[in-house]
């Protein structure tokens, strides 16, 4: 048994003062008044700050110098997960972006195996190729294509852990969206020029998220609300936000949170290899990408993912934008857990939940991380 005390506890919804967290056999046993905590076992005085559930990032292209598209293997996932784990992320969806069919197939196989044996690997996020060529971002246009019956069948057969698919209504019929959802696949709209009406129809068919809201999608206008307006207006939809100060204007971030609340926003890093300690320059499908200040760009200056980790997004929301810390943390813990259908076991501090924990200083820096109650070494490996 291990008892954590001396910090405020964030339980997934609120901050608790004068409480202790009791962990046993890798799971949370109880939250108790600090004076009533058990005195046996290991006692860890955290000395201030906040103890929260481990962060959950559902859009991770890479990190620590590794790109999932370039290394779509269990070993690649393990390297990415280890790199982000040091920054408090205890659950990741490795994300494969639009690429050749053999890369997608390898990524599905690699993620399936990784979900079984890599701590914190939750499944896979397939972002393309079933997107709209009118909103490609940096996705290579030669591989963008509509989804067919065989594609839907392959995705349904490939499931291991969580499978999240970002697609565009222009590339996938409502019948195919419904079919994916019936098989337990999480469908998110992204890289799409859909009208608000087309987006609403996709949400009615079962799509439940919007990938990196505001970016690579039809914007909100007064008489043409686009995907942004449809997603903000629908209480069923959880919106992903890359809260790095680069992918959207501060007022746009604030508007999204005002419209959806912390239960409708799931922060993501959209991390590329430079994140979590990687180099400033990398190759994406043969194209040179560079970190310039706080953003990643291609040779034409287009945004190419992000160089942050999820704690940077939390810190941006809480410090730069002034969101309550509990709200910022919920957007990186309990809300993504609910989106992924994992809110029965991760994303909260509650009895029976996995003891995946992050200790943050008062400056929102990571001071300690535990996976199933076990601490990390400096390299991100579990002791």
Both structure tokens of 342 = 């994992």
Do residues 99 and 283 touch, judged by C-beta distance below 8 A?
Answer: no
Do residues 245 and 100 touch, judged by C-beta distance below 8 A?
Answer: no
Closest CA relative to residue 12, chosen from 350, 361, 372:
350
Q: How far is CA 87 from the centre of its chain?
A: 13
Distance between CA 249 and CA 311 in Å, rounded?
A: 19
Q: What torsion do the CA atoms of 125, 128, 129, 135 make, to the nearest 10 degrees?
A: 180
Distance between CA 157 and CA 27 in Å, rounded?
A: 31
DSSP 317: I
Give the angle subtended at the CA of 357 by the CAs of 123 and 271, to the nearest 5°.
Answer: 45
**Residue 85 neighbours by CB under 8 Å, 6+ apart:** 119, 120, 369, 371, 376, 380
- State the catalytic residues: 270
Q: Is 168 helix (H, G, I), strand (E, B) or coil?
A: coil
**Residue 76 neighbours by CB under 8 Å, 6+ apart:** 66, 68, 70, 94, 110
Q: Where are the beta strands (DSSP E) in 157-301?
A: 162-167, 186-189, 209-210, 238-242, 265-268, 281-284, 287-292, 295-297
CB half-sphere exposure, 382, CA atoms < 13 A: 17
Using alpha carbons, list the distances in angstroms from residue 26 to 88, 143, 179: 17, 43, 36
Closest CA relative to residue 241, chosen from 207, 199, 269:
269
Q: Is 83 helix (H, G, I), strand (E, B) or coil?
A: helix
């Amino acid at each position: 048994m291990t008892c954590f005390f001396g910090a405020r506890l964030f339980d997934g919804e609120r901050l608790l003062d004068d409480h202790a967290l009791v962990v046993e056999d890798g799971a949370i046993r109880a939250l108790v008044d600090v004076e009533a905590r058990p005195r046996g076992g290991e006692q860890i005085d955290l000395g201030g700050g906040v103890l929260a559930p481990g962060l959950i990032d559902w859009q991770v292209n890479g990190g620590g110098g590794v790109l999932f598209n370039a290394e779509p293997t269990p070993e690649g996932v393990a390297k990415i997960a280890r790199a982000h784990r040091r920054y408090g992320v205890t659950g990741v969806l490795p994300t494969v972006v639009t690429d050749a069919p053999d890369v997608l197939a390898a990524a599905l196989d690699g993620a399936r195996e990784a979900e079984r044996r890599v701590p914190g690997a939750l499944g896979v996020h397939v972002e393309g190729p079933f997107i709209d060529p009118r909103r490609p971002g940096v996705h290579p246009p030669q591989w963008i294509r509509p989804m067919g019956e065989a594609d839907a069948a392959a995705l349904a057969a490939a499931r291991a852990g969580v499978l999240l698919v970002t697609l565009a209504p222009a590339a996938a019929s409502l019948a195919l969206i419904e079919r994916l959802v019936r098989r337990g696949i999480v469908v998110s709209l992204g890289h799409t020029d859909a009208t608000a009406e087309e987006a609403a129809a996709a949400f009615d068919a079962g799509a439940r998220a919007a990938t990196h809201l505001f970016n690579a999608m039809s914007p909100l206008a007064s008489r043409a609300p686009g995907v942004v307006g449809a997603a903000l207006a629908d209480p069923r939809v959880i919106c992903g936000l890359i809260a790095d100060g680069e992918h959207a204007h501060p007022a746009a971030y604030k508007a999204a949170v005002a419209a959806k609340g912390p239960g409708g926003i799931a922060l993501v890093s959209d991390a590329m290899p430079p994140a979590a300690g990687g180099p400033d320059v990398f190759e994406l499908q043969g194209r040179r990408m560079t970190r310039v200040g706080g953003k990643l760009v291609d040779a034409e200056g287009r945004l190419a993912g992000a160089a942050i980790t999820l704690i940077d997004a939390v810190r941006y929301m809480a410090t730069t934008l002034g969101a309550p810390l509990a709200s910022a943390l919920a957007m990186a813990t309990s809300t993504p857990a609910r989106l992924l259908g994992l809110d029965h076991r991760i994303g909260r501090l509650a009895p029976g939940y996995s003891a995946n924990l992050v200790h943050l200083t008062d400056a929102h820096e990571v001071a300690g991380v535990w996976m199933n109650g076990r601490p990390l070494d400096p390299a991100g490996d579990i002791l």
